[in-house]
Amino acid sequence: MPTPSDKSVRHWFVTGASGGLGRHLTEHALQRGDRVTATVRRPAALEDLREAYGDRLTVEILDVTRPADVDTVVSRTLQSGPVDIVVNNAGYAVVGAAEEMTVEQIRDQIEVLLLAPMLITRAFLKPMREQGGGRIIQISSMGGQIGVPTHSSYHAGKWGLEGFTESVSREVSDFNIHLTLVEPGGTRTGFVSALHYTTETAAYRDNAVGQTRHLLETADDSILTGDPAKLASAIYDTTRRPNPPLRLTLGSDTYDAIHAALTERLTALETQKDLAASVAFTR
C-alpha cells in the first residue's frame, strides 16, 4: 500500500486559508492535482478557487478557537476520506508591551497560535496512525526561535508550538507521521497590515517598545522580502520528501536571526558549565 506521501492525489486540510500563506498553499496543492479542505471565516474569499477547481476544494467555516467546532469539522472532513497533510496556518499577532496587553488579547493569542494547532494535531493523529502515516505542517515563524519587543504573547504561542511539535514528532515517528515546523521570515502576505495593537501607554512610548511599534505602524508589506508563492512551493516540495526536516527555515532574514539567537544562547550556556555541575551532591 502506498504511503500518503507516495499517493498521486493527496488530501490536504489547511486552516486560515482565506488569505496569505494559507491561500497560497491551498492554490498550490490544487494546481498540482491534490484535494484540499480549506477552513476559513469568510467562505467568499475562496469562491474563485471553488469555481476553478470544483469538488477538489471543500470550504469549511471554522473558528479555530472553538474546540467543539474543530471536532465537528475534522470529523466531517474525515468522512470524505483520509487526510494526508494537515497545515496549521491560522494566526495573527498582537503588538504592544506585555504590560499593555489585556487578558483577552493574551488569551486569544494563545488560543489561536498554540491551543488550536494542538487540538487539530491531536484530532488527526489517530486517523493518520491507522492509515499508515501522514504529514503535519505547523506554520511557526522566526518568532518561534527569537524574541523581540512588542511580541511577547505572539512569541509565547510560537515557542509553545515549537516545543509541542518537537515532542509529538518523537512520539509518532514509529507510525510514519512526520511533523514539520515552518519558520518563515517577513513575507508579503498582508501580515503587517493585519497586526492588532494594544492601547499605548506613555511609559513605553520612547523605549524599544515604542520604537518597534512606530516602525510597524508606518510600514507596509513592501519592506518584507519573502515571496509567499515561493514559500508555498518549498513547503509543498517538503511534503514529498520521505524524511522531511523537523524545522524548515525559509528566508535569509529568518536564517540570520535564528543563527544569531542560537549562537548567543550557546555562548551564554557555555559560560555556565561549571556552575551547572556545581549543584550536584558531593560524594
CA dihedral of 212, 187, 261, 249, whole degrees rounded to 10:
170
Residue 200 domain flag: yes
What percentage of the chain has pLDDT greater than the value 90? Answer: 79
Residue 260 domain flag: yes
Catalytic residue among 53, 152, 153, 154: 154
d(CA 36, CA 127): 17
Full residue range of the structural domain in which residue 191 is found:
4-277
Cell of 1: 500500500
Half-sphere exposure of 4 (CA within 13 A, CB side): 26
Check residue 219 and give its pLDDT: 73
Closest CA to 10 of 79, 90, 86, 88: 86
Residue 173 domain flag: yes
Check residue 19 and give its pLDDT: 86
Which of the four pLDDT bands, split at 50, 70 and 90, describes residue 42?
confident
Residue 247 domain flag: yes
Residue 223 pLDDT exceeds 70: no
More confident residue, 121 or 3: 121
Catalytic residue among 5, 140, 152, 153: 140
Catalytic residue among 18, 153, 158, 204: 158
Check residue 1 and give its pLDDT: 42
SS3 91: coil
Contact 217/197 with Cβ under 8 angstroms? yes
Number of domain units in the chain? 1
Active site residue 204: no
Question: What phi, psi does 140 have (nearest 5°)?
Answer: -95, -130
Residue 168 domain flag: yes
- Taking residues 15-36, what's their average pLDDT? 94
Residue 5 pLDDT exceeds 80: no
Please state whether beta strands 177-184 and 85-88 pair in parallel, antiparallel, or not at all (unpaired): unpaired
Active site residue 140: yes
CATH number at residue 18: 3.40.50.720
Supply the pTM of this predicted model: 0.92
Residue 282 domain flag: no
Check residue 151 and give its pLDDT: 95
Check residue 69 and give its pLDDT: 93
More confident residue, 259 or 191: 259
Residue 283 domain flag: no
Question: What phi, psi does 187 have (nearest 5°)?
Answer: -125, 140
What mean pLDDT value characterizes the chain? 92
Cell of 166: 518537537
